[in-house]
Chain A
Amino acid sequence: MRDARADVRRPVGLRLWLSGGWLSLLTLAAIFAPLIAPQDPLAQDLFLGRLPPFWESGTEPGFYLGTDSLGRDVLSRILYGARLALIVALVAGTLTCLIGATLGLIAGYYRGWPDRIISRFVDIWMAFPPVLFSILLIAVLGPGLVSIIIAIVIIDWTRFARVIRAEAISQGAMDYVASAQVAGRTKFGTMLAEILPNVLPTIVALLTLEMGIAVIIEAILSFVNLSISTDSPTWGGMISEGRISVHQAWWVLVFPLITLFLTVLSFSQLGEGLKDRFDPVLR
């Protein structure tokens, strides 16, 4: 019998290519920031303050996206800011996912007392207002990269725990779980070998979403000056500084904002795109 499945043309995942492309570009830019940034992101020069982007008149060569009120190059600062944004996205996103998904999986699959303990904990946790909670946390921990990551993990693990728990409950009721038990698979082995592959698409979608959210939280914390010291440029910090001079120099606000927007959008679309591409059931 001829297998005709190879003949079925799958639509090119435009979503995956666009979002993946933007994120790869950003990653490369972040890694090679010292090589490609036209200026020192911290160098101030009051004579070069509020230069407009390159297509307007009155620019200086080498300052493509203009400068802020202290004469710092906007493009270079965005490139360096990408480093922090991506580190936060990857590290905080992954940690949040690992902790939340593990607890959710255990609660949803084992039920009983592990579920009761974890679910109560999640309920209580979610009653705290997240932004206030994170500001308070950073105030206690002291600003810095590690504090931001800890704050994001502590606030957002409940999202994973809830969704993955619900998913694990519905998967646990399927007969393939009973079938694994009949075959003699251990309870823990069943969770890893049977349930996990079936909640993995949800985990991946949530993970990429969480990376976008981590970028936003970092920006919010920078906006209220609780992120990293002003020595290292962050997108949130740039947006907050640009806000003050938006009527004189809109580019200081707009370019980091666009970058932030595209990055968060790409993260969430990447999850959907990966699911379309790699989930065998949707193929």
Chain B
Amino acid sequence: MMYQIRDLHLSLPDMTRKPILGHAPQMNILKGLSFDIPKGAVLGIVGGSGSGKSTLGRAMVRLLEPTAGQIMFDGKDISHASEDELRPLRKRFQMIFQDPMSSLNPRRRVGGIIAGPLRLHGVDVSGKVDEALEMVGLPRHFATRYPHELSGGQRQRVGIARAIALRPDFILADEIVSGLDVSSQAQVLNLLEELVRDLGLTLAFISHDLSVIRRLCSRVIVLRNGEIVEATETVKLFDTPQADYTKELLQAIPLPDPGQTWT
């Protein structure tokens, strides 16, 4: 198992209800999630806004610390590991962010952005940047460009290149196509599909859009208000959705013919 998550709880202080004196009340965002991600699987995490899917993702790569419960990565409990303990593991799980404009340092060249994680883990950089650029379908001379000189789709490819350059075992993709137009979306999804196949990656793909999940993922978990309402294979989810919330999400997919349904 790549990930085993048991009864995960996470709460953050709710600053909007903070009294003038004293501490802000805690807001429960994740309320006891349990699921597994087997090696080589592509798991979709879907839910509306505010369902806690990004928080879950950030807890999985330990940008956030869970309040209770367990996160096991490849058999190791990382739920409360310190940053120093996590560092050697960090090269094995990477993340691709939603907004590449924010996740790529605007004052670094693309080459430096991709080489950054490699250097941090003492990997020999030579040739790796070119290789990573090639794998995501960008020309080599892009290494000398700044992020603002690229298009949205190209930027997101740089984000992917940075994540795969370290050859991680697991990648978390947090709403990575939601900021792109439809044709760039398709290209980025194709690319991700290829990479998962070629590199044998395990992937968790967070999205609010079930039609994107359908293309990519073998299993899906549906989140609502920090709880899992349905966890099943993608095919089953589309054929026989169980929870009412899942049905709502399915109905929200725009179809070319309004009379048509998914079944």
Contacts and interface: CB of A to CB of B under 8 A. Distances in A.
Nearest to A194: B105
Nearest to A198: B107
Tell me what chain A mostly uses at the interface: helix, strand, loop, or mixed: helix
Given A184-B121, A281-B148, A198 B87 contact: no
A182 B146 contact: no
A185 B108 contact: no
B90 A184 contact: yes
B120 A182 contact: no
Given A184-B91, A186-B83, A176 B103 contact: yes
B117 interface: yes
Contacts of A197: 105, 107-108
A178 B95 CA distance: 10
Nearest to A175: B103
B61 interface: yes
Contacts of A3: 141
A182 B94 contact: yes
B120 A1 contact: no
B148 to A, nearest CB: 6
A116 interface: no
A214 B232 CA distance: 68
A137 B87 CA distance: 49
B122 to A, nearest CB: 11
A60 B116 CA distance: 68
A14 to B, nearest CB: 25
Interface in A171-221: 174-176, 178-187, 193-194, 197-198, 200
Given A180-B116, A183-B117, A280 B146 contact: yes
Interface of A: 1, 3, 5, 174-176, 178-187, 193-194, 197-198, 200, 279-281
Given A174-B103, A175-B103, A179-B162, 4 more contacts: A176-B106, A184-B120, A185-B116, A194-B105
Interface of B: 58, 61, 63, 83, 86-87, 90-91, 93-95, 97-99, 102-108, 116-117, 120-121, 139, 141, 146, 148-149, 162, 166
